[in-house]
Structure 1
Amino acid sequence: MNHRFITSLQQLLEDPGFIQWARGEKPEDDVIWKQWADQNEERVKLLEKARELVSAVESENQGLTDEHIEHKISQALRIAKQKELHKKTQQISPIRPLFTSGWNVAASVLIVLGLGFALFRIYKNNRQKLEPPVAASQEKPETITEIVNNERALKYVQLPDGSSVVLHKNSSVKYPKEFAASKREVFLSGEAFFEVTKNPEQPFFVYANELVAKVHGTSFSVKARAEDEQVIVAVKTGKVSVFTKKDAKAKQYTEDKELAALVLTPNQQATFERSHDRLFRTILSTAILLNIPIENQAFTYSETPAEAVFTTLSKAYGVDIEFNREIMSQCSITATLGDEPLENKLKWICTILEAEYEITPEKITIKGNPCR
């Protein structure tokens, strides 16, 4: 299963219209999806696989738990490793095709299971009864967390929902210790890169001086320094809706989950000019705004040594990652981790390596066994 197929599969599973149709709630869309699939053979396979995943989650939705899914992931990993050990007992050709090892099989299996895991979370979130929203202005002072970065070039901040913030030097971010059920609100002063955990039922808002960015799950950069003439948002992946606090529809954009303002897609930028009180969109050759490593890092690995993977993550997120280089010297990773927040990346990597991780404000520690 190639990376393009997996990416397309994930896009289908994140499409609310497809989910409704696959669950049999929109039979009037049968013709639309048939025409879409008939364009090529790969789309036929995509549609079949996506419907299988939706059906599997729907049938097990009442009893499916995170622990059950993690058990299935570990089980898939063990099966792949057993296949690898079995291959070693047989005669091996001196030329081995790429992506045929048990570990590569494990990575593919894990990615597909991960899509199912994400889909399960969407179903669970959709079925939860929403609590009344808590306005940011009503938050008690003791419930607000503020992180200030005055010392490091970059500082990693993990938000309550698992989203990642890479905070530039001389910048700060404020957020509640627990997000409201209906929305997630973060307040930025300075510069930062965001990777937002996907949750269509709980939109994510970044308030950056005069500008507000509304997302459901994506990665983007924000430049909002008090002394600058402009406030800028640049999108790396996904979609971001941008509007000003003074916009006549600002309240509607905040309260309506589906309503979007100025929509940005990958390699697009929104700029608010303070002197002219003007907001406009431009197309970029790349989404690089802050000139930091994570803005152009793809996080795609093919039999990459674990040490190189951890080094890449450390530089991208501005966080120290400690691990035993001698123990993990034979470990390698094959996976596409994309725009998932750092903790999700760590979960996948540690599942593949059968390792454990611990996140503290100072560092991330990886503990595992030798790979053979």
Structure 2
Amino acid sequence: MHPYEEHIHHLLLDNRFIDWVVNPQSPYAEYWLQWIAADNENAALAEEAKRFILEMRRAEQEGAEDVHEDKLDEMLANIKTGIAPGRRGGGHKKLLWLAAAIVTGAMAVSTLFFLPKTHPGQEGSASQVEAADVVRYNGNKEDELLFLPDGSKVILSKGARISYNLLMNGSKREITLSGDAFFDVAPNAQKPFYIYTQHVVVKVLGTSFKVNASGGKESVAVSTGKVSVYLKGQDLEQSAAQIVLPKQVVSLTEDRRALTTNEWSGKYPAAAALQKPVSYDFEEAPLSTVLTTLEKMYAIPVKYNEDSFNNCFITISLGDESLEEILKVITRTVDASYSMSSYGITIEGKGCR
């Protein structure tokens, strides 16, 4: 792959760049505008990568859940018309998996599952914007259902965004939220679930509730279980927190200095939606099909040898358990092993005969 194409490849792997292209309110806009203005070649690189992303976005919006390889070739060829003849190389095939990942991740709809990368020529730069491992943004007109690696589910409202660690494998499960969302949190007393908005923190062990964090107003309304809510910067979490029970709502006061709790008589349409079984069922399906769906659901890249596992078929339901529990079932079924890292999931094994 030519160095010029390699730089485009890096841009397409940078979730900050993807977010800036598809989201008008991206917090990374200033960073990328400065980077483009600094050098003419930076501007050319950004234009080629942006064109590719928008082509993929348009294809997806036209209803193509899976874009055929011939179509990907055509898109990449169209993008390459802007590259100087001396820079055109034969390495564009290496980008096909990335194009498929963009489509699989619902580019402009809800998910940006690209891992944070240092920018070409900017490794170690103190001026870089730090990016969350995963940014999921709902650009749809309707609410969007998201699956989290710990088994929790989120219904993200239009224009809302969450970010979190790719695997949620720390001592805490932490989410940053902008906008409105309904959470159905999988219980795990050893790993409490935290949601951070601009002004408040929500702590929960396992329950369902709605968080509003848009329009300058913030509130938490509980459907089942209970949560504790406190202002950011408060040191004594246990003594300062507001305990919110079912059918109650805690709201940030107008001066943003306190929280008030009241009875809640509103509706939870999202809760009703989640009461219905939400799963993807497969019966003797190719392993590749199951893993592609897994990538889409959890916004995590899955790497494996397609040739080795070409003859593997599996019957499984996805959506009712945590990601690790699902991976255990899959790898036991096909006699393989898996590992998880900051780069995603790797599945290894001899395959099926």
What range describes the TM-score normalised by the shorter chain of this pair?
Answer: 0.3 to 0.5
TM-score by length of 2: 0.40
TM-score by length of 1: 0.39
Structure ranking higher in helix proportion: 1
